[in-house]
Amino acid sequence: MTEYNDKHDDLNEELNSTDADPVSAEPEADQNLTAEANATEEVGETERPARTAAGRAKQKELRQLRDEVTKLTEQLDEARDRYLRISAEYENYRRRTTQEKERLYEDAVCKVAKVWLSVLDNMERAAEAAATITSEDAVAVVAGVEMIQRQATEVMKRLNIEEIPALGEQFDPMLHEAVLQVDSPEHESQEIVEVLAKGYISGERVIRHSRVKVAR
């Protein structure tokens, strides 16, 4: 009986030692895995705020870059518009300056030519008067005067000064000055029948109107 009790007590002690602490009974390898998992979770929780902050900083930097690009684009557009305006203003200025120079040149030429027209008239009169003389000396004089007259006319053409067509033309108050009106059945009304003094024009500018006789 005593031997039976001793065996029973030994069995109870073994069972108690097995069920006493389940956690402490876990294998050592499982405990290590659990510890590593917990450590990984703790590290992840620590790094997550850092990654979030870095992302916010990156987004802020991108927004700043986009704003800077927008600002530079606007400045570029303004500079391009300013350049186009200045270019247009310069072109207008250049055109006005060129036109002003041309106008001043034409004014000077017309003023000088107007003074010389009386000299040209006198040469024509001299040639016409000398043409009535038949002596050999007179013929030589006429030839010389006509040559000078042709040279003067050529110079006027080079200066863009031309004679205004008059004889046989219809009277135009913009080009002609009617000195006399005559009855002439052979001519139409307002037809120029005689030129008393030649008129000259430069481009569209009349230097001197033709002085003419006009049929009624």
The one-letter amino acid code at 140 reads A
* pLDDT tens profile 92-133: 999 999 999 988 888 888 888 888 888 888 888 877 777 777
* Residue 163 pLDDT greater than 80, yes or no: yes
Q: Is residue 205 part of a domain?
A: yes
pLDDT at position 9: 54
Q: Is residue 14 part of a domain?
A: no
Q: Is residue 10 part of a domain?
A: no
pTM, entire model? 0.56
* Residue 207 pLDDT greater than 50, yes or no: yes
**Mean predicted confidence (pLDDT) in 171-178:** 95
pLDDT averaged over the chain?
79
Residue 186 DSSP one-character state: T
Residues 165 and 155 in one domain: no
Can you tell me the distance from the alpha carbon of 79 to that of 159, in angstroms, rounded to the nearest whole number?
Answer: 46
- Between CA 30 and CA 37, with CA 36 as vertex, the angle to 5 degrees is 90
Residues 130 and 34 in one domain: yes
Instruction: Output the six-digit token pair for 205.
Output: 């500018």
* Domain end (from 139, 159, 179): 159
Residues 133 and 179 in one domain: no
Q: Report the range of poorest mean pLDDT among 12-16, 17-21, 162-166.
A: 17-21
Q: Is residue 155 part of a domain?
A: yes
* Domain end (from 114, 139, 159): 159
* pLDDT tens profile 36-77: 555 555 555 555 665 687 778 888 888 888 989 999 999 999
The domain tally of the chain equals 2
pLDDT at position 204: 86
Can you tell me the distance from the alpha carbon of 52 to that of 164, in angstroms, rounded to the nearest whole number?
Answer: 93
Residues 203 and 105 in one domain: no
Q: Is residue 16 part of a domain?
A: no
Looking at the chain, the whole-number percentage of residues with pLDDT higher than 90 is: 37
pLDDT at position 25: 43
pLDDT at position 30: 54
Quote the domain boundaries for residue 66.
28-159
**Mean predicted confidence (pLDDT) in 204-214:** 93
Rounded alpha-carbon distances, angstroms, from residue 104 to 99, 100, 162, 190, 207: 9, 6, 19, 36, 15
* Residue 33 pLDDT greater than 80, yes or no: no
Residues 125 and 70 in one domain: yes
Render 91-157 in DSSP notation, one character per residue.
Answer: HHHHHHHHHHHHHHHHHHHHHHHHHHHHHHHHHHHHHHHHTT--SHHHHHHHHHHHHHHHHHHHHHH
Q: Is residue 8 part of a domain?
A: no
Residues 113 and 203 in one domain: no
